[in-house]
Structures are given as C-alpha cells and as structure tokens.
Structure 1
Amino acid sequence: MLGKFHQRKNSFVVRVSMDWNRLSREVLESPSLETHKRNIFLNKQKGKEAEVRQVLLVWEVEEVCGEMSAELKQGVKAMCFNMEDLLITGPLKDMNFTVPEEGGVRILYQFTSEPPAVSFRMSGEKDGIIHIVPNTGILYLNGSLDWETKPLHRLQVESLDVNGNVVKGPYAVTIYVEDINDNPPKFDQVSYTGVVRQNSRPGKPFMYVHATDRDNPATPHAQLTYSILHHFPNPYSEMLFQIDSATGAISPSRTGSYYLDPQKQDNFTLVVSVKDMAGMSTNAFSSSVDVIIIVKESLWKTPPTIHIQENSTEVHPVSISQVQSNEPDVIYGIFEKEKLPRLPFSISQDGVIYVTEPLDREEKDTYTFFVVTTDTHGELVDKPLQIHVIVEDINDNPPVCQQAVTVIEVQENEIGGSNIGTLIATDMDKENTLNSRLRFKIQSQIPEVPASNLFYIQQDTGILQLTGRSLNKFYASNYTLKVLVSDGAFHTICDVEVHVIDINDQIPIFEKSVYDNVTIAENVAVGTVILEIQAKDGDEPDTGSSLIIYQVKEGDPNNTFIIDTDAETNRGFVKINKALDFETMPVYTLVINATNPEPLVPGVQYNASSLTWFRVFVTDVDEPPVFLKPVYKEEVSEDIAVNTLVMTVDAYDPEGDSVRYSLEGDVNKWLRINSTTGQVYTASRLDREQTEMYTVQVVASEINNTGQKSRTSLILHLSDVNDNLPHLAMDSLAFFCYPVHGGEKTLIQATDADEQWFYSKFTFSLADEMNTRNNWEISKVNATHAYLSPKHHNFEEKVYKVPIILNDNGKPPLENKVYLKVSICTCSSEKSCFIEVEREHSWPTAGQAIGILVGVLLIIGAIVGGVFLHMKYKEKNEKSHHKDAKDSAELNRLT
C-alpha cells in the first residue's frame, strides 16, 4: 500500500506541476520564477490560477489517498498545500538543511534543472523519510525525523539526462536534525540508599544521585537540576540534608552536621526531584526518586585520656591510641595546643597515635594536642579532636636536702623532748604518693659526748628533738649529725649542725649606779647626744643573751629622750628626742634600765644592778614671743566702717615678759593695731577693687628686750559690694561719616570695677534729654556691648554728646549717666575722620600759627635774659640767702 501511495503520489505531484506550468506558462518562462510567484500572490487579478490549483490539489489528494488512512491523507494534503509556500529554489549544488524533529511532512527545497538534465536522483541516508521528486527536483520529507535516532543525514543528489546519464553531481546534501525537548529525565536507579556518619562535615557529599536525558546535551533540553522535594521526617526548621543542584551530591547541612544522631533518628527518606531545561522553564519535564539515608554513629571520636608511664624502656615509637575519620582517604595530622620545644607524639596515615620517645613526668606531667584530618587540598575534613595524655609517675628521683647544711641553735638548758628544728628534704616524684614519701633516720652523731644518742628525728616528718639529756656547752658547743633520708628506692645523706648556745643567765650590770648631772640649754637641737652610759653582760657575746637594750624607765613622760645601743660595745647614747622647754620642764630625773632581748632563764631576774639614774638640768634661753596661730585670716566686707574691729591676734613670751604688737607692710594704711591687746581695727575705708587679698605682717616683741620679736601674717579677704558706677570703656569712641546715610551703627562697651554676680551684665538706655531719643537709638548686643545708631539723616558736621544711662547687675544695682562723644565728620577714603569738627580741638589757622610762633620766641628771649640777670644777682647776695634759711632742713627743701 505504501509503495502504491508513493507511486500515485509522485504521479500526482507531476500532474500538479504540469497543470501549474500550463496555467502559469508565462510565469515559468520568466527569468525570475520567485519574483513572478510573489506577484501572483499579490495580484488579485490572477486569483483564477489559485482557484484552479486549489481544485486540482483537492482532487489529486482524494484520488491518491482514497485508500489511505485519514492521518496519511492529512499529511499528504499538507504537503501539497505547502507547495504554495515553496519559495526556495535553485540550481544543483552542495546544500545544508536544519530541520526540527517531529516536524512531520514538509518540502525542504526544489533543485532546478539545466538542459540536458531532465530529472534528479538521490542516494544516501534517506531512512525512508527523505525523498526527491525526480522530474521536479523537489526535496521533501514524508514523515518526522528523530534527533535521538539519527541527528544527521548525509545524502547525494545528481541530475540526469533523458538517457539516465549523470549531467551534474553528485552534490552533498546534509540535513541536521534540530532537537526539541521531547524526553523527560530518568534516574539511573529506582531508589537510592546512602550512609552518613554522625558529625560529618557539612557540605561534604556522602552519596550521589544521577539522572539522564536523551535530548541533545548541548541544549538546555538535557540540562538537569536536582532538588529535594520532601524530607521525612523533618524535626527541625531547617533541612538536615542538602543536594548540589548540578551534580546530585547529597551532604549534611550545617544543621544536620550538628543534630544528626542515630540514637534519636537513624534513617531518613528524601524525595529528590530532577528537572530538565535547567529547571528554568515551566514546561520542563521532571522525575523524582526516593533516597533512603541511614545515620550511623560517628567513627571520629575523642579517645579516653591516655596514660603513659614515664621513662618507658620499650622501643619507640609506641602506639598509644587510634582515631578514625568518617571519611576515607583523609590525611591525619597533629596540631600543638602548646608551643613546646618538641612534641613527642606522631600519627600515622591510618590514624594510629604514637609516643616517639620516653617521657619524664618531672619535666612535664601532662600533654594536650589536637588530631586533625584534611583532604588533598589541605581543607579540614573533621572537627579537631583534643587528645589528653597524662604521664604516670615512677620512683625515679632520689630525695634532695633543701640545704647543704641545716643549722639548728639550741640553748644549753633546753629540756628533753623539745623540738629543736626540722630537717627539710624533697623528692621530685609525684606528691602524696609512695614514690615521694620520705623517711628520716639519724645515721651518726659527732661528737658522741656525753652520749651517742642525744638527738632523735621523727622518721616521717624530719622533726629533730632532744632526748631526755640536756645539752651543756661544757661538753660540746657544736654537734654534726648525718641523717639518712630514703624514699624506698633511693637514699640520701643530709648534714645537720646543732649549735649549743649559751642561756641568758646573766643580767646586765651598769658600771655606775648614778651618773653625773647633765646641764643643757633648752634650745639644744633634737638628736644631740647628752650622755654616754655603759653596762656589761656576762653571757656569750654576739647573742640575744648578751645584747643590751637601754630604756628610760622613769622621769620622761613625754618621751623627750631616747637611748641608742652600739651592738658591738653595748654602749648606750642618750639623745634629745623632742625639743626641750625650760618653762615647761626645767629638771628631769631619768631612771635607766638595761635588759636583754632574750628572756632570762627561770630563777634569774633583773635587779638594781641593771638600773642607773641621773638628772638633766635645762637652762633658760631668752626666746622671742610665740603667736598662738601660724597665720591669721579674716574675710570682711569692703564697706565696713572705719574703726571696726577686724580680729585679735595673740602672742605670749615663753619667759613671761609682756608683749607689744605692731604692724608692718600696711602700705594702704587701712589698719591699726592696739599694741597691748593685739586688736586690729580698720584705719580707713577698704577697697576691694584696689586689693582683694590684703596681707600685712603682725610683729610681737618683748617690752624689756625689743630685739626679741616674732612675725606672722595677717590676711584680709575683702568681699565685694556694689560701690562702683558702671562706665563706658576707654575704647568706646564713636564717629559717623558725614553726611549720614542711614543704617550706620557703632559698638560701645560698658565696664565696672566691681565683682559681678556670675558674669558682667549691663543694660543700656538713652536719657530723655536734649532730644536724644529722637536723634539716636540704642540696641543691645550682649551683656557688655550695645549698638548706637543715628535715627535720621539730618545731622550736622560736629561733635554730639549723647547721654546714655548704664545699669549694672549688682545687689543693689547702680545706675550711671554718661556722655558719649559722637563725631559726625568728613571721612577719608579709608572711612575714618581726619578733621576735628569742634573749634576748641581744631588746628590753628596760618595767621594764628605765626602769632603763636612770635609769642613763643619773645617768651624764650625774656627767660634767657632773666636767667642771666638772676645769676649776677645771686653772686652778690649769696650770704643773705643762707641767713634767711631757718635751718639746714629748710634750706634743702627750698633748693
């Protein structure tokens, strides 16, 4: 049937072509077939040909396809109707075509023949779909091409003459099949299963899913993207797993790396989707698959604390622990937590940890370091594990004596059983263990007199004690002990020296029971030695039993005296400790005792032999008066009345003489003092603005010996009252350029000598006189300044006196009316006055200047002549002038 169809179809195409040629011979004979076809379609006058062609096409389709299925009929009909769109024709040559797959029946091209060629022949990869009409050269498809079946078809076309001989060709015709998205992606497995370890690194893939798409991989049709549709169960707000959209790699998310725990949930199901068109199109195909994930316990765990015995004799390195990563093919390494000269540990690429050398607990008893895993790029794979190593102690250190020789002093009368000292030894092995437990034993005693066992040592504490026999310097003053110290494995000998010291059984005895009296002036300097004393002690020299301490036992209630001791000679030096005062204490009777720092032995006591005494007579020295205060201060108001009592100064004479008072340095003559009572009064009005802190000297002198005097300062702090009127500052000078144009203003400043409350503050106003307020106006700038401005233009060129009222902020406030001179004057180009307007201040005219000059010359001549005559007269009458003077003082005043 298909062969019959092709046969009849070819006949149909030929007849259609012949009818078409008959009906449009003028078009076919035209040199440009394509142009005339376009004209036919555009020219409504030639619609008849189109009708005829339509009738012929319908008839031929019914005739050829009468016995074919409806689908084939429709395809042929479509092919025939497409002939009216056949606009691409040309001579036989190499051609390339691109045809979308699933395009159905269609015409591709029409090759034109050149005589003697009358037909065409095609060979090659036709696959029963690609055909050429021999008589017309029409290249067409009678079905759809499939890119997935064959993406490229290579053909050869040649033209033939009437005898079937090749005229031209063969020429290559290549048809490229263009892919369309007609295949959904498919996973390569029905379901997937993967295993993930607890605490796996986030983002590190532990499995992959993979899908394929039959469409052209060079187009988006086969570009796949993966995503997780569902996550069962999903106990957290964030997914525990993530997928790489491009590769399908599944890894723990950051949340999953932290929360995955097989004890809580040991499996999950993910629904993974894959889409083509890179997932960017709503018309993309998609597929999904179940991924079952099993959670297993992490292999990467911190091992228990490692215990290593020190000084091991094994051959090193020695394996001490092992770690294992969750991921294969990692690189193990060690990271130091402490910076040590060397780290005696290493790790193999199997995760085995080694100690590389024997350890010494006494050098370092613990080690801490980290084990890490990295990939080939040096990136961390697992979280670092912290490794703890404890070095266990063995008894490998002998006892050590704390001192080369332990020296102990014992008094000769010490009773038996007394603790006389402790021998201290140490052991570097671990404390509070048997390895560091020490035991003591006396091995020898030299000399062995009066017995060989005078001493006993507690075996666990090293405390030395005396046995029942008491020591006596008569037998020996020094003993040497050899003490054996043992820790169970090692032994050490420690040396102990016991010095028998004399007991304090002798009291100090003064060489004199009474010393001669000492007479000193009351003004003797503190620290002066007034007497040397001496006592003797029969105990052993250079010990606490023989050193003498001197003290004033009686007669010195105020500690006016002190006694120093020379440790080598035991000589005492009595010194002045505080200033003497004849008027307070003219005589001291001092009782001195002598003692030892070491206590006396029982049965021995200090007695009168350890006492001495002497008298100190203090002689009087005339001293100047003494003020009761170092300085006198008083605050007074500056407006107090004259003769007001300000203060009273008080001084006394140590010898009881009467005192007179006077003032020095009262430059302002503001004060006077009662010479007898010391009362100070004001002698004139005070003025704070002149001096705020007024200081004078008060002199107190003895009446009977005026050379004995003392001085102190009297300071008056004057508090302010508002007693000064405000006034204009010196720089408040004003002028305006003539003529006045308006808008001018000048700055004026007020000041006040008084102390202002917090800050200076003045108010400015104009007095209501001389038509002032009609001519001028004043405006405040700040607390101390204001602007003065003219109010109109009609001012003459002269000086105006503007009355201004100033008020201060005193309590009470004061008011002052001042007159400000304001010059209205012709100004220079620099805007400054150069002519004084007022006559009394102007320069003289030329005539006035000549008159003044002549007058001055006449006066000078008269003065010179008068001086000459006076000298002559004085020479004649010199004696008479001296007689007229009453005395030499008046003569000096006159001359």
Structure 2
Amino acid sequence: MFKLCGLQFLLVIHWAIGQNFGDLHVTGPLKDMDFFIPEGGGVRFVYQFTSEPPAVSFRAYGEKDGIIDIVPKTGILYLNGSLDWETKTVHTLQVESLDENGNVVKGPYTVTIHVEDTNDNPPEFDKAEYTGVVRQNSRPGKPFMQVHATDRDDPTTPHAQLRYSILHHFPNPYGEMLFEIDSVTGEISPSRTGSYYLDPQKQDTFTLVVTVKDMAGMSTNAFTSSTDVIITVKESLWKAPPTIYIQENSTQVHPVKISQVQSNEPNVIYDIFEKEKLPRLPFSIDQNGVIYVTEPLDREEKDTYVFYVVTKDNEGELVDKPLQVSVIVEDINDNPPVCQQALTVIEVQENEGEGSNIGTVFATDMDKEHTLNSRLQFQIKSQVPPTPSSNLFFIQQDTGVLQLMSHSLNKRIVSNYSLKVLVTDEVFQTICDVQIHVIDINDQIPIFEKSNYHNVTVAESIPIGTVILEIQATDGDEPATGSSYIIYQVKEGDPNNSFTIETDPETNRGFVRINKALDFEETPVYNLVINATNPEPLVSGVQYNSSSLTLFKVFVTNVDEPPVFRETVYKAEVSEDIPVDTVVMTVEAYDPEGDTVRYSLEGDVRKWLKIDSVTGQVYTASTLDREQQETYTVEVVASEQKNAAQKSRTTLTLQLKDVNDNPPLLATDNPAFFCHPVSGGERTIIQATDADKQWYYSTFTFSLADDRNAIDNWEISKVNATHAYLSPKHANFEEKVYIVPVVINDNGQPPLERKVNLEVNICSCSSENSCFIEVQREHSWPSTGQAIGILIGVLLIIGFIIGGAFFHMKYKQKNEKKSHQNDVKDTSELNRLT
C-alpha cells in the first residue's frame, strides 16, 4: 500500500485538523464505532477521537494491515493507503487512550471499518470459447447450451449483477437472429426464425459473439466482456417416416411395429392423434417413439390412414412440430366377384343377326382396381334350352359382352333362354344368372278402325284438358311390346299444338284432349290428320301407309268474351303539382268479338282521376297531393257497349313525385323552458321537420324573425341539418312565458319558409330540472284556453251563489242553525272555487 513520508504525513494531518470536521460530526469521544468506507481512494481522514483528562494520547492495534492507523497525540484515525473489498471486507481494531505514563485511561474500544465495494472488476467468462450443438427444427426458446461469467465484485450489489446478450452473429443470412440468449441465465436457444430456417445443408456452423455486462446492463459505465460461441447445426432427428405400407388382413400377432420416430430432445412424451374423425384409430406409439398397428386392417373398409405424431413435455406443451404419418393398406385377393344384378335380363329381337351385341353381364370385385386381384373373366357354363344349338350365345372373356353366334332365334320355337355365366378372378369364382327374352319384330303397322271420324263441335271456352274424341287403332305385333304400342300424333292441321293425344297402354285407345285455349276469332275450324306409329322401328321392307292415318274436323263455336286489356297493369309517374285535366296515361282494351269498348274507373276514393269512356285517356280531376297518398291505385273497367255485363278489370297505379309544397315546422308543440333565475350559458334544442319527401337528408336553416325584442333577448345557433340551439342572451328574465318568433327555411326547390312562435317558459324548477310552478304569459291578454277556463269558473261561482241564496231562503225559518251551517259551507266552497 502507498505510504507517506513523515513530512508528507504531517502535512496531511495538519490539513485534516484544519478542516471544520466538527460540523461534519467527524470528532467525538472514544467509544465502540463502525465506519463504512468505499474501497480505493488512497490516503483519507476517517475520524478524530477527543481526549478526556488525564488521557493525553491514543493507541490503536489489531487488523490495521499497514493501511489503518491513529495519530497518538491528536487521536486522528486515518488511512494511509487504499482499502480493497476483494482482499478484505472488514477490519477490526482496538483503540485505547493513555495518560502521560502510558497507562490505559479508557478502552480498549472496538473500531470496525466495513469496506464498501465499488465496481472495479469486469466480469469474466469461464471459457475463452464455447461450443454447442443444435438440431435442425429444434423448439424455439428451448436452451441447448449455456455460457457463464463471474464478477469479483460484491454479489449483493448491482456491481456483480450480470446480463448476457448476443453482439454479433456470423453469418447472418436472414437478417434476423437465428439464436437468442437468456439475459440472466446465459442459456442459448434457437429463435423462432432459427427454429424455422436452421438447416445443416445450407449452413452448419455459426459463430456468436456473446457479451456480458455488470451493473445489470443498465449503466453506460458498466464493464463488458465477450466470448465466442461456436454452434454446430446437425440434421433433425425428428422426421416423418416415409409412407408406410401394410398388407391387409395380416395374420401376425398384433400390435406390430411399423415405424419409429425420434425427438431432438430427451425425455419427451410421444402421442398420436387422428387427422380425420374415425370410429377408432388402429395405431399406437410407445415412449420410445415406436409406432405400432394394433389390429389387422381391411383395405376394402379403408385404404389409407393419415395421423400425426407429437411430442410433449411434462407440462403438456408441444416440443416438436407435429409429424404427419401416412399409411397405405395394400390389397390382397380376399373378395370374390359379385354379380351386379341377381338376374340379368336381356331382350333380343328374333331377327337379330350373327355377331350382334345383345347385352352385357356386369360384375364387380371389391379388391383394388386395375390389379390382378380385381381382374374378372367371364365364361358361359350352361344354356337352357340348348335349342336349336347349345352354343347359341358367346360371351367375351374380359368384358362380359354377350353376342349371338348364329341367326337362328325364333320366338315361336323358344321365347326365353337361361344362361349360367361363370365369373372368376385369380382365386374366387361366382355364377351370374342371365335370362334372354326373344321378342317379336315390328313387322305389323297400326291400323285405324275408321279412316274418318267426321266432325266434332266445341265451344271456344272449353276447358284445357277436356277429351273431345276417342280414337282406336290396332297392331298385330306381340302385345305389351314396343312393336305393338301405339303413339298417336296430330300430323297436320294443328300448327299451334292446340290438341294432344294420350294412349291407354292397356287398350291402345287414344284420347284427343284440348292442349291450349281455343279462339273462334283466330281459328274457327281445324282439319286434323292423325297418324299412328310404334316406338320400335319397323323392320326393313315394312312401311306405314294410309291405314295408319285418320281424319276429323273440329268446329269451334263462338262464345261472347269480355274485353281484353292490352297490358296487365298500367303504371305512370307524375308530379303532384300537375294541373287539373292533365292526361296521365291512356288505357286500351279490345273485344274479341269486335264490339265497341267503354271505360270507367272504380275505387277512385279521393276523386283525383277521371277517364274518357271512349278513348281510355285518364285525366287528373282534382289537385294531387303526395303527402296524402304517394302511390294511388284505382281499377279501370272495360265493358262491351252492347252487353255491359261483359267487363274486364285492370289496375292503374299512379306514383306521385314530390314537389316542395310544404313549409317546414317544429317537430313538437311542447314549449321550451329555462330554470329561473337564468344564470347564462343555458340552451335548449329545437328540431324542424317537413312533410315533403326528403331525397337524401333534410336540411333546415333556423333564424330569429326580424323582431327587436327577440333579437335582443335570444340567439339561435346551428347543431346539425335538422336541429338548432335556442339560448338566452342575458340573465334578466322574469318568471313567465315568452313568445320567440323563429323562422325556418327548408332546402327544397324552390325553398319554403315558415314563421313559428315558440313558447319559452322561464320558471322555477324542481330538483329534476323541470318546471313545477305555472308562470304568467308575457302578454297581458289571456290565451284562448285561459279565457275559457276563467269563463267557466265565473259561471260556476254565479251558479253556486244563486243556489246557496235559494237554499238559504227556503229553510231559514225551519232550521236557523242548519241554515247557518249551510251558509258556512257555501262560503267555504266559494272560497275554494275562487
């Protein structure tokens, strides 16, 4: 430690004595004392002990360590060097006072000097360089290594509180840190970005420059040290297995191991969950990551499975990203062929030629498609009857298509054949039953029972669907086949399809029905030609002829019909201010029989319209008003001139367009009020409205009328397009009703205005800020309501006076006391009324 020579030391002591330490409480009698002194700082004055006779000097001994001493004559305790907390944190010594003979007067007393730490040591890492290994796709924030530093300063102070950070990152290909460090523990883990991007195929080594700061990293004067951290990236152990193939219907003892996965981290919990909702998931996993199939699988039930493998920690949090596992169930030949139909029925015309395809036998196999397991082959095992030969039919081996081997079918000899068809795959076989019906060929044409059905007369008003005629043709082919079924059609004379013909499938009888409404004025007579055909084509060499045709006429008789309007509904849009006698529209109707039509209106409740009975022109009969009714509907009646009972109706709708013909007004008649006395700043809101249609939004302008009294007392300010504030201009208002003239303008074209007299009460108010005392009006004359009330009150008083006098005179002599009581009662009643 640094020491002063004798002269220098005396100068320091002299300087110390010359300071005004008394004011700083650095002198005092000898006693036990504790001093707290920061380390370092060199030569320093600590304390001066004062002597008490007979003491004339002081002596110190103990843990002075060549740094702490006392001036014997003056009692000054001082440091002649620097204290070091890291070397010794406490110095304990004893101090005594002595008399002239060196005898102890007082003491020894213990003086303890506590050395206070200062931040004079930088932190130091345990290693000059660290190495670590991280797996690809490791969980973000999961530590894989740790750095550690120490600081020789006092650990109970911020001087030794260390904070770690990553200063540099080499290389840094993504612009974001791939690693992060816990600032307190020094644990290093992948960042979220690193967990995603770390890949040993792209970059397998990283160098981090990690720094550590003392003072908890919060001071700019903190000491900082750094170290290099070399990180090696290795391939992830956590990988999805390749697609797993499992043969169906396995006879092995289950569960059977099918794959294994391994987490990047130890001591994880493995689990699986299904991607799709299944009645059961036939897979499991143990805590070594081994995946098992727990039961035999059936490809025909389900041919693929997809599920996820996850890892969790002890808290149930996911450790690794879920892995998708795919399982494909491989097919074995475990399903026999199945006939698509229990009995395949095929119809063949008896004149069918050799090699003709007459039908197909269909079968299926539930084994995997396009494999040998599901390949089917066909073979005819038997034919009943074997007439005219046992190999009359042939089946294509791989398609199941049936063909005729010879042109030898004859319905009269054999009408039905039964075949047994053998269907096989590589393992199984099935018999399919086939029945072949030989059907008659269409070599007979339909023949009408009559070539002419003559005339049919019907009224033009006959309902649609009415049968007007029954016709009959016969066919010599086999009954209940396409060769004998007859289709009737109108071949000529019906261009508008006014008629239709239905066939009874049992009797082949035809029913001619009305298909569309008939019109005598348009077509009074139909000359119809009907033909009869079969749905099955005729055989070669046979043709339809006149025997398959018949004729008849339909005479349509006239029926008096009502007039018909040209349009179903008539609509017009007019402005509500059009002049009276303006034509708004023209309606038109015609009579099918050509009679003259007359027009009239019904339902014109407002008497707004009139119609020219001859031309159908509709006029305005009076002023229209949209505010009364915006959409006005009436009925127009068209009747025949010769027969007024024949009439038709249609609707006429008039849509009225608005014009600005209504001045604005206040939205409510309720008077406004202000509490008396008026203090200033009060305001009440008023609202305007308008009966006219507002296309977008109402806009009103509020102002005071040109009235000196109103302008002096009140002011109006705008709130929005429909509201304004009315405010008193001063506080000198009496308790009474004031009439405030307000002018309101709308935004119509042209704009309209209205002057309204707004009642404003200046009144005493209740605690709820509402008037509770009726006030006198501003004008001396009473209102109409008040005048009526006064008049009724006066008449009541007069009536009571006259009645009381009459009653008093009548009973005065009979009962003086009773009369007196009645007078008192009458007087009190009058007082109450007045």
TM-score (norm 1): 0.62
Which residue of structure 2 aligns with residue 544 of structure 1?
Answer: 482
CA contact (8 A) 1:623 1:708 kept: no
Change (3 A) 1:585 1:708: farther
Tell me which amino acid in the other structure corresponds to 2:266. Answer: P
CA contact (8 A) 2:563 2:639 kept: no
Choose which of 368, 386, 400 in structure 1 pairs with 2:338: 400
Instruction: Report the alpha carbon displacement of residue 573 of structure 1 after superposing the two structures with TM.
Output: 2.3
SS at match of 2:373: helix
1:828 pairs with 2:781: yes
Tell me which amino acid in the other structure corresponds to 2:782. Answer: S
Which residue of structure 2 aligns with residue 436 of structure 1?
Answer: 374
- CA-atom RMSD in angstroms: 5.3
Which residue of structure 1 aligns with residue 29 of structure 2?
Answer: 90
Distance 2:638 2:378 in 1: 82
Which residue of structure 1 aligns with residue 119 of structure 2?
Answer: 181
Which residue of structure 1 aligns with residue 150 of structure 2?
Answer: 212
CA contact (8 A) 1:638 1:719 kept: no
1:532 pairs with 2:470: yes
Which runs of 5 or more structure 1 residues have no equivalent in the other structure?
3-67, 721-725, 730-750, 752-777, 790-825, 836-895
Instruction: Report the alpha carbon displacement of residue 555 of structure 1 after superposing the two structures with TM.
Output: 5.0
1:304 pairs with 2:257: no
Which residue of structure 2 aligns with residue 349 of structure 1?
Answer: 287
Change (3 A) 1:163 1:396: farther
Tell me which amino acid in the other structure corresponds to 2:159. Answer: H
Distance 2:146 2:253 in 1: 46
Which residue of structure 2 aligns with residue 453 of structure 1?
Answer: 391
1:285 pairs with 2:205: no
Equivalence map 1:701-716=2 (5 Å) = 710-711=646-647
Distance 2:317 2:469 in 1: 91
Choose which of 548, 557, 576 in structure 2 pairs with 1:610: 548
Tell me which amino acid in the other structure corresponds to 2:422. Answer: L
Change (3 A) 1:608 1:283: closer
Change (3 A) 1:121 1:714: closer
Instruction: Report the alpha carbon displacement of residue 269 of structure 1 after superposing the two structures with TM.
Output: 2.8
Change (3 A) 1:393 1:533: same
Choose which of 38, 45, 56 in structure 2 pairs with 1:100: 38
Output one character per residue of 1:748-800: Cα deviation in whole Å (capped at 9) or x when no partner: xxx9xxxxxxxxxxxxxxxxxxxxxxxxxx999554755699xxxxxxxxxxx
SS at match of 1:435: helix
Change (3 A) 1:123 1:521: closer
Distance 1:391 1:331 in 2: 28
Tell me which amino acid in the other structure corresponds to 1:242. Answer: E
Equivalence map 1:683-762=2 (5 Å) = 687=621, 689=623, 700=640, 710-711=646-647
Distance 2:641 2:654 in 1: 28
Kindly, what percent of the aligned residue pairs are identical? 65
Instruction: Report the alpha carbon displacement of residue 419 of structure 1 after superposing the two structures with TM.
Output: 1.6
Output one character per residue of 1:485-534: Cα deviation in whole Å (capped at 9) or x when no partner: 22212222222222223322333333344546545566655544333232
Which residue of structure 2 aligns with residue 320 of structure 1?
Answer: 258
Output one character per residue of 1:409-454: Cα deviation in whole Å (capped at 9) or x when no partner: 2223322222222222222222222222221222223333333222
Distance 1:632 1:326 in 2: 81
Distance 1:116 1:630 in 2: 142
TM-score (norm 2): 0.66
Equivalence map 1:42-53=2 (5 Å) = none
Which residue of structure 2 aligns with residue 147 of structure 1?
Answer: 85
SS at match of 2:155: coil
Choose which of 320, 328, 332 in structure 2 pairs with 1:382: 320
Change (3 A) 1:533 1:308: same
Distance 1:716 1:104 in 2: 116
1:565 pairs with 2:518: no
Equivalence map 1:561-640=2 (5 Å) = 561-577=499-515, 590-614=528-552, 623=560
Which residue of structure 1 aligns with residue 301 of structure 2?
Answer: 363
Could you tell which deviates more after superposition, 214-223 or 343-352? 343-352
Could you tell which deviates more after superposition, 243-252 or 690-699? 690-699
Instruction: Report the alpha carbon displacement of residue 387 of structure 1 after superposing the two structures with TM.
Output: 2.6
Instruction: Report the alpha carbon displacement of residue 323 of structure 1 after superposing the two structures with TM.
Output: 3.1
Instruction: Report the alpha carbon displacement of residue 218 of structure 1 after superposing the two structures with TM.
Output: 0.6
Change (3 A) 1:622 1:143: closer
| Paired positions, count | 669
SS at match of 2:507: coil
Distance 2:126 2:492 in 1: 118
Which residue of structure 1 aligns with residue 805 of structure 2?
Answer: none
Q: Which has the higher helix share?
A: 1
CA contact (8 A) 1:207 1:249 kept: yes
Tell me which amino acid in the other structure corresponds to 1:830. Answer: S
Which residue of structure 2 aligns with residue 479 of structure 1?
Answer: 417
Change (3 A) 1:69 1:395: same
CA contact (8 A) 1:187 1:211 kept: yes
Change (3 A) 1:624 1:475: closer
Instruction: Report the alpha carbon displacement of residue 217 of structure 1 after superposing the two structures with TM.
Output: 0.6
Choose which of 245, 264, 271 in structure 1 pairs with 2:183: 245
Which residue of structure 1 aligns with residue 807 of structure 2?
Answer: none
Tell me which amino acid in the other structure corresponds to 2:441. Answer: I
SS at match of 1:334: strand
CA contact (8 A) 1:648 1:680 kept: yes
Tell me which amino acid in the other structure corresponds to 2:511. Answer: F
Tell me which amino acid in the other structure corresponds to 1:418. Answer: S
1:194 pairs with 2:147: no
Output one character per residue of 1:164-220: Cα deviation in whole Å (capped at 9) or x when no partner: 999988766544322222322222112222223333333333222211111111112
Tell me which amino acid in the other structure corresponds to 1:300. Answer: W
Tell me which amino acid in the other structure corresponds to 2:125. Answer: F
CA contact (8 A) 2:599 2:616 kept: no
Change (3 A) 1:321 1:715: closer
Output one character per residue of 1:830-864: Cα deviation in whole Å (capped at 9) or x when no partner: 289989xxxxxxxxxxxxxxxxxxxxxxxxxxxxx
Distance 1:592 1:701 in 2: 42
SS at match of 2:471: strand
